Amino acid sequence: MSGDQVVGEPVRRPRVVARPRVAPGPLRDLKDLLYELYLEAGAPSLDELVRLVAADDGLAGAPTRATIGRVLGSPDPPAAQPDVVATAMLQSRPRRSSTRRWTPAASATGPRSPATCWRRPPPAT
């Protein structure tokens, strides 16, 4: 059998969201925390995260696929705190593929929680 032959269905591997490059400061702290949660969760696809959003009415926000992508991969400040909290909570839930998760108790001595990293944008002038 040659290497050119395809056996079975091709496997689609979702791309990992690229880590945003952010200047040092509170926004970088938030983006680093969110990205670490994303990697610890096994870098789930944005589609998987959207399915989890749709299945949970108890989340603070209901971010879309594009919003989750921006929260994780954009160097800009997130537009809405509830979407940031929802994105972090989705990734902190136990899954079969990962063992470490953020918990409120762990954040007291370890990394800061998304809620404490959030900074309101300055008022418009």
Domain of residue 42: give its range. 26-94
Q: Is residue 99 very low, low, confident or very high in pLDDT (cuts 50, 70, 90)?
A: very low
Structural domain count, the chain: 1
Domain annotation covers residue 15: no
Residue 103 in domain: no
Whether residue 21 is contained in a domain is answered as no
What was the pLDDT predicted at 92? 81
Highest mean predicted confidence (pLDDT) among 97-101, 106-110, 113-117: 113-117
pTM over 0.85: no
Asked if residue 2 is part of any domain, the answer here is: no
Residue 31 resides in a domain: yes
Q: Is residue 65 part of a domain?
A: yes
Question: Minimum mean pLDDT among 77-81, 84-88, 94-98: which range?
Answer: 94-98
- 41-69 pLDDT, tens digit per residue, is 889 999 999 999 999 888 889 999 999 99
Residue 82 falls inside a structural domain: yes
- What is the C-alpha separation between 73 and 20, in angstroms, rounded? 5
Higher pLDDT, 49 or 107: 49
* 72: in domain: yes
Quick one: pLDDT at residue 100? Answer: 44
